[in-house]
Amino acid sequence: KTAQRFVENVSHDFRSPLTVIMEYAALISDEIAGPINSEQRNLLGIIDDRAADLNNMVDDMLDASKLESGMLGASRSRASIREIIDRTLASIERKAEVREVNLHVDFPEIVPPVFCDEEKVERVMINLASNAIKFTPHGGNVTLRVRRSGVDEVLVDVEDDGIGIPKAKLDEISERFSQVKSWNVGCGSKGFGLGLSIAQELVNINLGQMHVESEDGKGSTFGFTLPIDDPEVVTRKFLNRLRAVESAPFLSLFQVQVPAYAAPSDADEVRQFLTYFLRQNDLLLPHQADSMLMLVSASTMQMHTFLERLADERERLNRNRPRGPLPEFDVQCIHSQPLDADDEVIISAVRWNSLESEELTHATC
Ligand code: ADP
């Protein structure tokens, strides 16, 4: 906790002068203080680019510290990959311009919506694209490519024709990408810096998988997958990930019910509260119009502690909430099972909304 607070303070101390530097560079570049020539404009571009790199490093440091203390949550929901990438394009384009690298974007006409934490995907995009631009000489090409992969995933690739990666280092990076439990920044592996470690962890949190291909001297492709927005697909990927990382051997399924008369914004406020409350190894899914499902790694006994914590947090928040208490909602545990039991009960609940099914053990909590 102390180390995390230290990183947060240092990051904050860095962030404000960086913002000022970027704002002043923009003021000069916009000729607010008088006309400038093209060479001066190029130099300002370099200042802006390097300041953006530092900003990115601050983000990496903050993420690293939160990951290590287990405080990095996940706000996953239905999202458009096109919109996510569009939001990162301005800063990637600026970087490509300063480094004189040609940037291409290759999108198919139709891409299904994905289920992810948008902010985390943006961070991964910026990290991979920055690397691609950094390791591609002037006049080279970087392409951001999106494709559908199989029935249940969308694939995002960042391809460059830059310096490439020697075989030994490539093997090391591929090996790390194949491990689900990757968070070991301090291990001193040669191929991995902070940027790729964080990118991999953020992709894992998004229930995706990183990959790399490269040929020394010819270029590299770094990419990642994201699940399409389908509750069954997402749940299966979530359960697989949980089995790989979680030591807690139980899983509980909760239904969160918002009263039928509640406004849609109420349901959204409840969703935001639960997103903030849950950990990255829990899953919150939209369900019926007035309900959500929560998959939490907790046994029947831990479940009661979980519900107590939830109630305490709700009460604490309600006391300090300027807009008044959170909208009403009701949480019920509808099923509990060992993590290695068959997934089908959970999948059928998620798929068919069959919460009244006899298979499910009802227990009002
Ligand atoms: P760093 O912050 O040290 O760059 P990263 O984790 O982002 O750390 O990258 C680790 C290493 O992987 C880099 O130092 C570089 O050697 C290699 N690398 C990453 N992306 C590329 C790329 N697109 N082309 C060539 N090498 C790359």
Place of tokens 């694209």: 129
**Exposure string over 31-44, b if 16+ CB within 10 A, otherwise e:** eeeeeeeeeeeeeb
The token pair that represents 302 in the structure block: 């831990």
What is the DSSP code (8-state) at residue 325?
A: S
The token pair that represents 133 in the structure block: 């631009």
Of 259, 314, 323, 265, the C-alpha closest to 291 is 259
| Residue with CA closest to ligand 1 atom 3 | 193
Sign of the C-alpha dihedral computed for residues 168, 174, 180 and 183 taken in this order: positive
Q: What is the pLDDT of residue 245?
A: 79
Say how many CA atoms lie within 13 Å of 171 toward its Cβ.
Answer: 2
Q: What is the pLDDT of residue 189?
A: 56
Of 358, 345, 249, 243, the C-alpha closest to 293 is 345
Cα separation, 306 vs 312, in Å, equals 10
The token pair that represents 344 in the structure block: 């089908």
- With a Cβ cut-off of 6 Å, ligand 1 is lined by 131-132, 135, 160, 162-163, 165, 191-196, 220, 222
Q: What is the pLDDT of residue 357?
A: 42
Full-model pTM: 0.87
Return the ligand 1 atom nearest residue 173 CA: 12
Of 183, 173, 88, 164, the C-alpha closest to 129 is 88
Q: What is the pLDDT of residue 16?
A: 85
Return the ligand 1 atom nearest residue 136 CA: 24
The token pair that represents 244 in the structure block: 């790989």
Residues listed for the chain: 365
pLDDT per residue of the chain (365 residues) written in tens, 0 to 9:
677 778 788 888 888 888 899 999 999 999 999 999 999 999 999 999 899 888 888 888 888 888 877 778 899 999 999 999 999 999 999 999 999 999 999 999 899 999 999 999 999 999 999 999 999 999 999 999 999 999 999 999 999 999 999 999 999 999 888 877 655 554 455 567 888 999 999 999 999 999 999 999 999 999 999 999 999 999 999 999 888 876 667 889 999 998 877 777 888 889 999 998 998 889 999 888 788 999 998 776 778 888 999 999 999 988 888 888 888 899 998 888 888 888 888 898 887 554 444 444 443 33
Burial zone of 120 (CB within 10 Å; 0-12 exposed, 13-18 middle, 19+ buried): buried
| Residue with CA closest to ligand 1 atom 21 | 131
Return the ligand 1 atom nearest residue 196 CA: 6
Q: What is the pLDDT of residue 182?
A: 57
Q: What is the pLDDT of residue 141?
A: 98
